[in-house]
Structure 1
Amino acid sequence: MKLPIYIEAAMGVFLVVILAMAGKNGMIPQNQKNNVMKQSETEQKSDSDMQNEKEAVAEEATDSIEEVAQTDSAAITAQMCSPAGQYPVMGESVVTVDELADYFNQSGYEYPSEELAKGGADTIETFCQIYCEEAEAEDIRAEVAFTQAMKETGFLQFGGDVSIEQFNFAGIGTTGGGVPGNSYPDVRTGVRAQIQHLKAYATDEPLNQTCVDNRYEYVKKASAPYVQWLGQKENPEGAGWATGENYGYDIAGMLQHLLLKEQG
């Protein structure tokens, strides 16, 4: 028959007291006490060694996982940026301001600081910072908007129908034949218009900021959620940003160069 729990508890306390008194009065041999202490120390040491071993194994496993993850990330990036891939226009950016600036600097082109300083971006770092901030505000990937701007402007050298003083970095409103397209009061507004135009193609979600893209309403929403679909000739619905052949694929190729270089 099982004893009531309060009786079991009382018996346990009584046993502890008896053992304590016995040890104090020398009723437990010293050699047994020493053996118990040595056994305890051995167990503690063993536990410590095991813990160290576990930590070493865990650290080694973490290093291996990170190495594999980096390799897989590079492979995934290469696949997503390939002609058969699908690199999403929307999402969290995977580049930093410094990485975008390095990408531009490695192009060999000179940053037009005098002209763009008039619009609030006197350095390439400031220019890239604006892209990252405006892209984040609308959940657009900064690397997508930035590489598109580099394609449209020839790495900020312009030379086409749009002039640098327009602060139009994506040819918004240009139709060819010398039509200059839209103009904006400063660099940030021009970047914001481009990113809002990209969002119009990528999703039917509303804008998070006040619309400065006067062509936003004319875009078929969510018709080009992937970079490769930004060209009308490659878009399954025949929609898209530009009519030029391989337009989206060209940007995807630039993305691949940017992202794989940063991972390497």
Structure 2
Amino acid sequence: MARQNERKMKLYMEAGLAVLLVLTIALASVSGRLSSQAHEKDKNKQEAAVQGEAEVYEKNKGNDQEKNEVKDQRENNAQNTAGNAEESQETIADGQYPIMGNSRVTVDEMVDYFQTAGKPYPKEALSKGGAESIEVFCRMYYDEAVAEGVRPEVAFVQTMKETGFLQYGGDASVEQFNFAGLGTTGGGVPGNSYPDVRTGIRAQIQHLKAYATADPLNGKCVDDRYEYVKKGTAPYVEWLGQQENPEGLGWATGDNYGYDIVRMIHDMKK
């Protein structure tokens, strides 16, 4: 009986040891997997960090390249502008004032020139056409001229000459928004009329461009006399007068017409 009990006890102990061994192996396996997973996560984090740094580097590299390209473009534009200004000044210095080209005249200078003449601005009439003040009027001239590559001072001063600083008194009237005598052939013919101030200004500038160059218009043509002009026959303001034009063509028949405009431009710049 005692031997049987000993055998049973021995079997129980062996079974317990076997169970304990199995549990130990199982725990070791789980611990290994957990450690492996943690290591894999750390590895993934490191790879992601490296990838993120690489992306940031490439992005910054691209931004730096873009900034350099913009800087180079600005420098080129500045050089081109300076070159154009120098070329324009050289042409003017040679004794002829080009109708086309860049200009250093500002809107404020145009406003001051009008106000210095001491003439009242026809606010009531021109407000109906969208130019309630001389400042707005001059800004329209500047913007429309630049849009076609015409010097703003040429068109503006021509208007001051043609209209007597917007006082009119000739065949055309201020209500027509015709600022340079387009279509006024004399004998009381009033010439063209336009729906608003800007359209009248645009027509005048397009007509000037027709005389100055054979280049096409940049905007839609509103000058119904544009087609009648022989293109490029008066590239200089001085040649706008038919008597001074080498081909006998030009804007007006009056003596020294273009030279008077140039003189007025120089007065405005003083």
TM-score for the superposition, normalised by structure 1: 0.67
Alignment match, 1:108: 118
1:119 equivalenced with 2:129 (yes/no): yes
Alignment match, 2:23: none
Q: Which amino acid aligns with 1:86?
A: Q
Alignment match, 1:222: 232
Q: Which amino acid aligns with 2:163?
A: T
Which among 142, 148, 155 is matched to residue 158 of structure 2? 148
Structure 1 stretches lacking a partner, 5+ long: 1-72
Alignment match, 1:234: 244
- CA shift, 1:191, in A, is 0.1
Q: Which amino acid aligns with 1:144?
A: V
Distance 1:88 1:179 in 2: 30
Bigger Rg, structure 1 or 2: 2
Alignment match, 1:208: 218
- CA shift, 1:241, in A, is 0.4
Q: Which amino acid aligns with 2:222?
A: V
Distance 2:243 2:147 in 1: 30
Structure 2 stretches lacking a partner, 5+ long: 1-85
Q: Which amino acid aligns with 1:127?
A: F
Which among 175, 179, 183 is matched to residue 165 of structure 1? 175
Larger relative contact order, structure 1 or 2 (CA cutoff 8 Å, min sep 6): 1
Which among 252, 260, 264 is matched to residue 250 of structure 1? 260
Helix, strand or coil for the counterpart of 2:244? coil
1:176 equivalenced with 2:152 (yes/no): no
Q: CA offsets, 1:104-149, max 9 Å, x none?
A: 0001111111110000000000000000110011000000000000
Q: Map 1:1-264; keep pairs closer than 5 Å.
A: 80=92, 85-259=95-269, 261=270
Distance 1:111 1:92 in 2: 28
Q: Which runs of 4+ in 1 moved over 4 A?
A: none
Alignment match, 2:53: none
Q: Which amino acid aligns with 1:126?
A: V
- CA shift, 1:238, in A, is 0.6
Distance 1:217 1:245 in 2: 25
Q: Which structure: greater helix fraction? A: 2
Q: Which amino acid aligns with 1:171?
A: G
Helix, strand or coil for the counterpart of 1:94? coil
Q: Percent identity?
A: 69
Distance 2:119 2:235 in 1: 30
- CA shift, 1:95, in A, is 1.0
Contact 1:94 1:143 (C-alpha < 8 Å) held by counterparts = no
Q: Which amino acid aligns with 2:171?
A: D
Distance 1:207 1:129 in 2: 20
- CA shift, 1:85, in A, is 1.8
Distance 1:233 1:111 in 2: 32
Contact 1:163 1:180 (C-alpha < 8 Å) held by counterparts = yes
Alpha-carbon RMSD across the aligned residues, in angstroms, is 1.6
- CA shift, 1:94, in A, is 1.6
Q: CA offsets, 1:71-112, max 9 Å, x none?
A: xx9xx69x948xx82000001122111110011000111111
